[in-house]
Chain A
């Protein structure tokens, strides 16, 4: 099992406030443009970079996806210096976007491209929770 990772809090801006509020409830909120149907990442508070309109609406993502790529970090910096080895990955969500994240609750040597994962949320105590991903077959807490 990996060490508990740092829970750094994001700066919350007008365009990301709804997203981070969702994470505190254990929900991954994505934005979809009603005009072009594009699912948007990262959150832009309604702005759709695909068609240039401020019309996107939020919806709850399934919270599941697969590992698109990953790296096992052996030299961490800052708050991450003491928690190596840990895994940074791009997870491709079932809704399409590839999001940067950590893979947790698994031995880093077992992580592989294509691995099914599900979102877990680590509360920062500052009005947000970090979305990380754990192997999907591990259901329950």
Chain B
């Protein structure tokens, strides 16, 4: 069975705010759910499949209750920030299997002003062997990966900075972006060192917020005005510490990418736009290599000379400003990766960064840590009516 053309993205919504002290996490889930359903031309009562991460109480069970849903299918797959890219694939599978027809995916969280949840890690078996040495923030793990990538392949801080520069050029056109001022390579290198070799500007923003996506069956899509993006393929993988043989220089994208391309039946030259998970600049460089947009180890060189900048670059990426500049709600950037890719396919990205004739887009999520274990999901979508 394949999910190719079995499901359509009918609605998207990104919460416009980046600091939301006056709403609970559950309320934000409700706001984005209503927003995406309204975009689709649907309401909560139409939903029969629900997907969310495991960070809010019992995940789908708690939120199905709060939202008042009555679903025949639910899924709380938890892979950190990439969860929602897993969810789209799983929603398409469920729709193809006839288990639901209108799948709602929501994300919400408040790491900026407090009051958010987060998956319980106290009893994770790896905790004692990773949690006692000061690696409490994500940045240190990604810094370990960056250091090793530099050692093996000669990747430089200047090359990593190019990723941030491209994101900032896009973010200047996004009025909702947390950071909307273009920065230079020199400014990235001059920003404070957080965890070597990563500077502050190599890191994503910390924002409250959320987003939602509605995935529907072809039969439902035919009656909806905006369901003109179809899922061509998805691949996923959990790459882990491999019994102590961890290799920090690659991601789960080496598995998820080829599977997504194979299912979609497209090649790299067919991809008009990419949303690449950008928790940190190194995340983008390793991911582009692993998805096959360049040779392994050449990611640093690949991102130079404006490769990722829209318009004009060879591979326009993260035209909303990405997690590096726009939004990383709940410390999870997966849903916004899907949302901006759908905007591009609809032709509804900001005119200054819209890719001309954008027909096929790829969105990729990396959740967890490059330094320990991660969930990787690659999603390929096309502009196509049901």
Asked if residues B144 and A90 are in contact (CB atoms below 8 Å), the reply is yes
Nearest CB in chain B: distance from A101 CB, A: 6
B128 touching A74 by the CB < 8 A rule?
no
CB pair A38 B243 closer than 8 Å: yes
Contact of A99 with B140 in the complex, beta carbons under 8 Å: no
Contact B129 A88 (CB under 8 A): no
Q: How far is the CB of A77 from chain B (nearest CB, A)?
A: 4
Contact B244 A42 (CB under 8 A): yes
Give the CA-CA distance A20 to B144 in the complex, in Å: 25
- Select one of A69, A75, A76, A98 contacting B244, CB under 8 A: A98
Question: Which residues 136-193 in B have Cβ within 8 Å of A in the complex?
Answer: 136-137, 139-140, 143-145, 147-148, 151, 192-193
Per-residue contact bits, chain A 76-91, to B (CB 8 Å; 1 contact, 0 not): 1111100100101110
Asked if A88 and B144 sit within 8 Å, CB to CB, the answer is yes
Most buried by A among B134, B136, B147, B194: B134
Q: Which chain A residue has the least Cβ–Cβ distance from B199?
A: A74
Is the beta-carbon distance between B243 and A75 smaller than 8 angstroms? no
Interface status of A120 (Cβ within 8 A of chain B): no
- What is the bound-complex CA distance between A37 and B134, given in angstroms? 32
Residues A8 and B244 in contact, CB atoms below 8 Å apart: no
A72 near B196 with CB under 8 A, answer yes
Q: Judge whether B195 is part of the interface by a CB distance below 8 angstroms.
A: yes
Q: A11 vs B133: C-alpha distance in the bound complex, in angstroms?
A: 14
0 or 1 for each of A57-74: is its CB under 8 Å from B? (1 = yes): 000000000001111111
Tell whether A99 pairs with B194 under 8 Å between CB atoms, given A113-B147, A113-B148.
no
Q: Is A28 an interface residue (CB 8 A)?
A: no
In the bound complex, CA of A134 to CA of B155 (Å): 27
Q: Is B248 an interface residue (CB 8 A)?
A: yes
Minimal beta-carbon separation of B192 from chain A (angstroms):
7
How far, in whole Å, are A75 and B26 apart by their CA atoms in the complex? 31
Residues of A within 8 A of B246 (CB): 90, 98
Chain A: minimal CB distance from B154 (Å)? 13
Residues of B within 8 A of A76 (CB): 134, 136
B192 / chain A contacts, CB cutoff of 8 Å: 74
Closest to A71 in B: B143
C-alpha gap A42/B192 in the complex (Å): 34
Q: Which residues of B contact A13 (CB under 8 A)?
A: 125, 128
Query: Is residue A27 within 8 Å, beta carbon to beta carbon, of the partner chain?
Result: no
Query: A55 vs B275: C-alpha distance in the bound complex, in angstroms?
Result: 45
Nearest Cβ on chain A to B140's Cβ, whole angstroms: 5
Contact B248 A90 (CB under 8 A): yes
**Cβ < 8 Å to A, chain B residues 242-295:** 243-246, 248
With CB as the reference atom, state the residue of chain B lying closest to A10. Answer: B128
A96 touches B245 (CB 8 A): yes
Residue of B nearest to A48 (CB): B243
B140 adjacent to A71 (CB under 8 Å): yes
Q: How far is the CB of A49 from chain B (nearest CB, A)?
A: 5
Q: Is the CB of B137 within 8 A of A77?
A: yes
B1: CB under 8 A from chain A? Answer: no
Interface: B126 (CB within 8 A) = yes
Interface centre among B128, B136, B144, B245 (most CB of A within 10 A): B128
Are A88 and B140 interface neighbours, CB within 8 A?
yes
B135:A97 contact, CB within 8 angstroms: no
A89-122 residues with Cβ-Cβ distance < 8 A to B are: 89-90, 96-102, 113
**A window 27-42: CB within 8 A of B:** 38-42
A6: which B residues are within 8 A, CB to CB? 134
Closest to B152 in A: A113
List 22 A-B residue pairs with CB atoms under 8 Å apart, sorted by A's residue number. Answer: A6-B134, A11-B127, A13-B128, A16-B128, A40-B244, A41-B243, A69-B144, A69-B145, A69-B147, A69-B248, A71-B197, A72-B195, A74-B194, A75-B139, A75-B194, A76-B134, A79-B134, A88-B135, A96-B244, A98-B244, A100-B371, A101-B133
Which residues of A come within 8 Å of B, CB atoms? 5-6, 8-13, 15-16, 38-44, 49-50, 68-80, 83, 86, 88-90, 96-102, 113, 130, 132
Instruction: Give 3 closest A-B pairs by Cβ, nearest first.
Output: A97-B244, A41-B244, A10-B128
